[in-house]
Amino acid sequence: MGFTRVDGTVQFLSRVHSLMAVGNILDIGCGRGHAIEDPCAYRRDLRRLKATGRHVIGIDVDVQGATNLLIDEYRQITDTKRWPVEDSSVQLAYSDYVLEHVEDPAGFFQEAYRVLQPGGYLCIRTPNFFGYAAFITWLIPNKLHARILRRVQPGRKDEDVFPTVYRCNSKRKLRRALERAGLEAVVYAIEGEPPYLETFPLGYRVAAKLLPHLPSVFKSTLFAFAQKPETKNSLT
């Protein structure tokens, strides 16, 4: 199976790969690595960040992270105020659809700053609160999310559904939080495929044509790429 020209996963991970070098790579909220089940071989390959000279560390509060086949090493988070990662030890950290579940975004970004080496990058993909999917999700009680997702995303397993809080899910909030943590940041919104409509063919086709034309503030997904400052390089 292939992918479309607006595939958000391809867009995000292509940029992640462009920023990676040798050293430690940190997968924040690594989960069980369900992306390895993606039917698209190209997206599966993009998920594989392992390479010669790289060591991929996965951290998560969930013990299922120990089963993740996309990482070299799993470390469980037992204290969200202090990740089990050494200071200035990570060349690149990424967080893919995790920030919407974080209760303390300021603490999250402080830890990201701490573990990044000077010049290191933080890459984030998260829903935009003002996008259709996040806003509807916010209106629905968390206890009903798994039941509804079984209907709209039948391939998604219950163990991959987590409570959402949306504490830092607008362009303004996300950019300000990153800058307050001392990171140089670029934040922008994109509109990819409408995955929550994949079981409704007519709705999917209509949404795929209309959603890309929405103003930026209403696009469904936020990308953020930030760098811990150093004297030699800066994010461009």
Of the candidates 41, 90, 39, 48, the one whose C-alpha atom is nearest the C-alpha of residue 69 is 48
What's the whole-number mean pLDDT along residues 39-54? 93
Number of Cβ within 10 Å of residue 3's Cβ equals 17
Inform me whether the pLDDT recorded for 116 exceeds 60. yes
- The model carries a pTM of 0.86
Q: Which long-range CB contacts under 8 A does 204-208 form with residues at least 24 apart? A: 208/6
In the chain the domains, ranked by start, together with CATH numbers, are: 8-127+167-193+220-227 (3.40.50.150)
Query: How high is the pLDDT of residue 93?
Result: 98
Give the residue, 25 or 230, on which the prediction is more confident: 25
CA 168 – CA 173 distance, rounded (Å): 5
What's the whole-number mean pLDDT along residues 136-156? 60
Of the candidates 51, 223, 199, the one whose C-alpha atom is nearest the C-alpha of residue 131 is 223
Query: How high is the pLDDT of residue 140?
Result: 73
Of the candidates 230, 233, 225, 229, the one whose C-alpha atom is nearest the C-alpha of residue 15 is 225
143 band by pLDDT with thresholds 50, 70 and 90: low
152 band by pLDDT with thresholds 50, 70 and 90: low
The residue type of 211 is L
Whole-number average pLDDT of the chain: 87
- The share of the chain scoring above pLDDT 70, in percent, equals 81
CA 54 – CA 198 distance, rounded (Å): 36
What's the whole-number mean pLDDT along residues 135-149? 64
Number of Cβ within 10 Å of residue 24's Cβ equals 21
For the chain, the residue count is 236
- C-alpha distances in Å from residue 151, one per residue of 9, 28, 40, 160, 204: 22, 28, 22, 15, 14
